Structure 1
Amino acid sequence: MDGVPAPVPPMLAVEGPLPVGSGWAYETKWDGFRCCMRVGPDGRTKLTSRLGNEITGVYPDLHGVLADATGGLPAVFDGELVVLAPNGRPDFQLMQSRHQRGPTAELLRTAPVTYIVFDLLRLGAEVLLTAPYTRRRDLLADLPVSNSHVAVPRHFTADDIDPNELLSIVEEQGLEGLVAKRLESRYHPGQRSRDWLKRPLIKTQEVVVGGWRPGKGNRDNRVGALLLGGHDQDGHLMYIGDVGTGFTERALDEMLNLLIPLTRADSPFHNEVPPDRRRGARWVTPTLVGQVVYRQFTSDGRLRHTAWRGLRHDVLPDQVTTPR
């Protein structure tokens, strides 16, 4: 045994209107990959993804970053891995590239990772899962965090600022949104709870890739568009649209290499794909999960004005549902 505590599956927020009142705290919603960081008494550090995968080796720049802060006590943290662009905002594409390509010398130099810590789940012998949010945040704020790869952003209450004014400030800064957390709530491992309500400023949707259409012109013999799906309430994979913009040149090449081995003869979607969308389509086994931004989800179940953001290695296909 190395003394490093066991990981805790992440608590997840429910999307909804921003609650207003004295019983809530408000935090920035960060655009990255969820991560449980565990620190042993000797400072040894282990990282676990949202799906419970061991990812310590992918981020050597985060080894030991909270060792001094914990003072020899074992600890478990919840937070988000982000890569900050020169303007100080999280860059999801850079983060996705770091996660997918691994810790090359170039990426360690050009895309260093910051761990945004927003919860403390264990400190020493005390497991804090049943402690209220206020106590967990107070303990976290008292830790002497000084490493440049770690940030503990401030949280706000309605006594500090009007939540809607805070949302406007976050929007002006180009950030993703807010998460409201009930002050007296406990931590619910592995559960989506209304004790945490997220209010995103941009509409994003996790999607399952069920097929692709070849491109034309400078995309000849490459991906022109991906055919996207999500699961309905009965668990059926439904076609919900496609996406053909937002790809980097590297992403187009990598996507084609991932799609070709997944080729299958028939559509994986439960519903019918419109003729103009399935013409020339190459169907694939629906194992790849990605994320798109979009402007509207129509009444007939279609995403409109989509753009690709990247693959989501931290989400399983059967966890992807259609927008509600």
Structure 2
Amino acid sequence: MLATPGSLPPTAQDARWAYETKQDGQRVVAYLAGDGGLVLRARSGEEITGAYPELAPLGEALDTTPAVLDGEILALDDHGRADFQLLQSRMGLAHAPARAARLAARTPVHLVLFDVMDLDRHSLLSLSYARRRGQLEALGLQGPFWSTPAALVGHGEQALRATRDHGLEGLVCKRLDSVYEPGVRSRAWIKIRNMRAADVLIGGWVPGKGRLKAADLPGAVLVGQRSTGGLRYVGNVGTGWSEAEREQLAELLRAVETDACPFDPVPAVAGAHWTVPRLVGEVRYSTRTRAGMLRQPSWLRLRPDLTPEESAADLPDKPV
């Protein structure tokens, strides 16, 4: 079951919803066979059990009771927060057991469990979220590499504020009376992603494809922020414009085009057109990688009110 992007439920309906922390990891369904066996499947249906050998003991956690559990595999940083970049080194190793075992010793994952779809060979899909959640918590699934974090009923505004204050990815709102609908992106589950905004300097662009290429319009702009070594590349932004804004931006980019790359070091971007970094823009993004790159950035607006010198990288980014 998948969540639909949205906003907090109305205050008058707050008590009808449960709130869970949105995790930045790999969604997984765990099949406990009841004989000690465990099978993990990704959203695509691909079996990924071999990529996470440290989760194998979960198969024995319920003794002889088989179960089908829903959850998210995380890699945690030194502050206990999910770090998707850390997790990426563990993904895709289902058929490389030796390497998976080495990485498991160095960067163990943690499985967060938040739903149960089948228990002791009885389907729970038609039960309400509240009843399923009660059954899940009663299983007491707390282990060295897995846990069942509590869900908060009501108090949505406080829950969302807490995720922002602690630098977490966001919040998932789940209606207490909702049944489990496999494969459905349901309005009964709502996801809210915490976004932040940053001022950036445009140092280049890459042509668009198809219609955009024929019209010589940018598909994405290459953006950076100032650091002690100069202009540091922090990513490319290819969404968030209206048609008129894209055309306006294309004219501005052509006016400041240059042969010299303004970024230090030069990013490996195929087909890049470089520009003198005079245009200041504001973008929003979800998180930063450990290298400072923006994840899931989108365009907000040009900032003609700021000079390039005023768009200093050292200013704290703003919540959106």
Q: TM-score, normalised by structure 1?
A: 0.62
**Alpha-carbon distance change, 71 to 100 in structure 1, aligned in 2, over 3 angstroms:** closer
Alignment of 1:42-191 (within 5 A): 42-68=35-61, 70-100=62-92, 103-158=99-154, 162-191=155-184
Question: Could you tell me the percent identity over the aligned residues?
Answer: 36
Shift of residue 294, structure 1, vs aligned partner: 1.9
Q: 5+ residue gaps in structure 1?
A: 1-10, 205-215, 217-223, 230-237, 247-270, 284-290, 300-324
| Distance in 2 (alpha carbons) for counterparts of 1:79 and 1:12 | 12
Q: CA RMSD in A?
A: 3.5
Question: In structure 1, what is the equivalent of residue 4 of structure 2?
Answer: 14
Alignment of 1:162-311 (within 5 A): 162-202=155-195, 241-242=220-221, 281-282=270-271, 292-294=295-297, 296-297=299-300
| Distance in 2 (alpha carbons) for counterparts of 1:122 and 1:194 | 22
**Alpha-carbon distance change, 168 to 135 in structure 1, aligned in 2, over 3 angstroms:** same
**Alpha-carbon distance change, 244 to 108 in structure 1, aligned in 2, over 3 angstroms:** farther
Q: 5+ residue gaps in structure 2?
A: 198-202, 210-216, 226-245, 260-268, 273-293, 303-320
Question: In structure 2, what is the equivalent of residue 3 of structure 1?
Answer: none
Native 8 Å contact 1:66 1:147 kept in 2: no
Shift of residue 135, structure 1, vs aligned partner: 0.8
Native 8 Å contact 2:130 2:177 kept in 1: yes
Question: In structure 1, what is the equivalent of residue 17 of structure 2?
Answer: 24
Native 8 Å contact 2:21 2:171 kept in 1: yes
Native 8 Å contact 1:227 1:243 kept in 2: no
Native 8 Å contact 1:202 1:293 kept in 2: no
**Alpha-carbon distance change, 131 to 57 in structure 1, aligned in 2, over 3 angstroms:** same
Q: Match for 1:34 among 27, 33, 50? A: 27
| Distance in 2 (alpha carbons) for counterparts of 1:242 and 1:31 | 26
The structure with the larger Rg is 2
Native 8 Å contact 1:203 1:295 kept in 2: no
SS at match of 2:85: helix
Q: TM-score, normalised by structure 2?
A: 0.62
Native 8 Å contact 2:174 2:189 kept in 1: yes
**Alpha-carbon distance change, 62 to 135 in structure 1, aligned in 2, over 3 angstroms:** same
